[in-house]
Amino acid sequence: MPVLPLVDLLILVAWTSLIWAALHKALWAALAMNFRVLGMGPFDFVVIAGVSLLFALALAARVWVKANEPRLLAQQSRRRDPDYDFDPEAAGAESAPRDGAAAL
């Protein structure tokens, strides 16, 4: 299942909640009435927006890390051992000497 549409949906929910919280607060100030929508006030909608944005950020970070993990591991291995040759694109790649000699 693709994750990026879910991230977009969470960002949309967050912005919608923030806009509704601002409108709700403006109506409270203009009408001098404390009404609630589904039992929630403006601060509750701000909390919903914050949680949605944090969850979207966590999902996007997870996707980025999973996409870049092989390349980052190869860079880390190359820093530790300059003779280590790793191709992150090849599945199941083994270490091989750079001079072309066959590995035993």
Q: What is the pLDDT at residue 35?
A: 80
The residues with which 37 forms a beta bridge, in sequence order, are 40
Q: What is the pLDDT at residue 37?
A: 80
The residues with which 50 forms a beta bridge, in sequence order, are none
* pLDDT tens per residue across span 33-59: 888 888 888 999 999 999 999 999 999
Tell me the pTM. Answer: 0.64
* pLDDT tens per residue across span 20-39: 999 999 998 898 888 888 88
Helix axes 4-31, 42-80, angle to 10 degrees: 150
Query: Do residues 10 and 44 touch, judged by C-beta distance below 8 A?
Result: no
**Which amino acid makes up residue 29?**
A
